[in-house]
Amino acid sequence: MTPVLETRRLAKTYDTGGTQVLAVRGIDLTISRGEFVAIVGPSGCGKSTLLNLMAGLDRVTAGEVWLGGRRIDQLSETALARMRRQKVGFVFQFFNLMPTLSAIENVELPLLLVGRHRKEARDAASRLLDDLGLEDKYDAAPSQLSGGEQQRVALARALANTPDILLGDEPTGNLDSASSREVLALLRAARDRGQTLLLVTHDTRVAAAADRVVTLRDGLVNDDTELQAARPVTLPLDAGGPV
Ligand SMILES: Nc1ncnc2c1ncn2[C@@H]1O[C@H](COP(=O)(O)OP(=O)(O)OP(=O)(O)O)[C@@H](O)[C@H]1O
């Protein structure tokens, strides 16, 4: 299996007014191509910190982060931003859509930012929104969409650049259970098409849908378990069915 994302003895210490918080204390983790990995653990164990370090959104205190065979923890801010635009997709708990842009403009944006032509970006964004069941919501503003619809737009945006890895911080954390099921089914459908996924979650259903669950405790990996393969996948948007 080819590693997509790898950490080596990764550590992060926050200094808060003289007090040091050891948020991540030496983590070795390898995410292989095509894996769906959930990171779980009690509040404050370092999940979001780890994800942010792996995404190059926060600076490491010690250790290394490798993405697609390239060491990224020492890159400049400009190089990191370019790397994120080209290689990483993000979904967050609070969707983080641009409020003044329509659904389709939100999905087009990452494509335009990497220099794709307007027509090409529009076609790709339409296809993604159609795939996620949002064919009648192209022109809606985020504020006109339900939480589940906003997260589907965010997912379309995250997948627009066919990222090497999709990173999520509590992607179902702000959704009702029907919308969570929809979003989870879409995440699993992305995995079934070969998308690599790494999600931080408190949601046991998200963890149960993963191929592998990494449990953190006090800034360290406490457990790393492969789950049984071949669980049935609910069709996307079949919100009523089991996931
Ligand atoms: N910017 C920061 N400055 C100082 N301390 C921080 C900062 N961010 C996180 N921490 C601390 O680092 C530790 C790990 O936090 P982190 O947010 O990574 O945990 P988490 O497992 O994601 O928690 P939760 O499940 O509640 O989101 C906690 O003790 C937290 O208080």
Please identify, by atom number, the ligand 1 atom nearest to the C-alpha of residue 24. Answer: 14
Pairing of strands 220-226, 212-217: antiparallel
Ligand 1 contacts CB of residue 48 (under 6 A): yes
Ligand 1 contacts CB of residue 94 (under 6 A): no
Residue nearest to atom 30 of ligand 1 (CA): 44
Q: 44 CA to middle of ligand 1, Å?
A: 5
Can you spell out the DSSP letters for 169-225? Answer: ESTTTTS-HHHHHHHHHHHHHHHHTT--EEEE-S-HHHHHHSSEEEEEETTEEEEEE
Tens-digit pLDDT string for the chain (243 aa): 679 999 999 999 999 888 999 999 999 999 999 999 999 999 999 999 999 999 999 999 999 999 999 999 999 999 999 999 889 999 988 888 999 999 999 999 999 998 999 999 999 999 999 988 899 999 999 999 999 999 999 999 999 999 999 999 999 998 888 888 888 988 999 999 999 999 999 999 999 999 999 999 999 999 999 997 645 444 444 444 443
Q: 82 CA to middle of ligand 1, Å?
A: 26
Q: 25 CA to middle of ligand 1, Å?
A: 13
For residue 114, what are its two tokens? Answer: 């990497």
Residue nearest to atom 31 of ligand 1 (CA): 44
Q: In sequence order, which ranges of the chain are alpha helices (DSSP H)?
A: 47-54, 77-87, 103-113, 118-131, 147-159, 177-192, 204-209
Question: Which class is 31-57+77-226 in CATH?
Answer: alpha beta
CB-count exposure of residue 123 (10 Å: 0-12, 13-18, 19+): middle
Domain boundaries, the chain: 31-57+77-226
Torsion of CA 125, 203, 24, 33, to 10 degrees: -50
Contact indicator for 128, 158 with CB cutoff of 8 Å: no
- Residue 39 has a pLDDT of 97
| Number of Cβ within a 10 Å radius of residue 115 | 8
Among 69, 60, 58, residue whose Cα is nearest residue 32: 69
Scan for tokens 């942010």, then name that residue: 52
Ligand 1 contacts CB of residue 45 (under 6 A): yes
Ligand 1 contacts CB of residue 14 (under 6 A): yes
CB-count exposure of residue 109 (10 Å: 0-12, 13-18, 19+): middle
Among 179, 187, 178, 236, residue whose Cα is nearest residue 208: 187
What residues have CB less than 8 Å from 241, skipping those under 6 apart?
181, 234, 235
Pocket test for ligand 1, best of 13, 40, 49 (most atoms within 8 A of CB): 49
Residue nearest to atom 27 of ligand 1 (CA): 43
pTM reported for the whole predicted model: 0.89
d(CA 129, CA 37): 25
Residue nearest to atom 5 of ligand 1 (CA): 14
Q: 197 CA to middle of ligand 1, Å?
A: 22
d(CA 123, CA 185): 24
Q: 23 CA to middle of ligand 1, Å?
A: 6
d(CA 213, CA 209): 9
Q: How far is CA 73 from the centre of its chain?
A: 19
What residues have CB less than 8 Å from 197, skipping those under 6 apart?
35, 36, 37, 165, 166, 168, 187, 190, 191, 210
- Residue 182 has a pLDDT of 87
Complex ipTM, two decimals?
A: 0.97
Ligand 1 contacts CB of residue 16 (under 6 A): yes
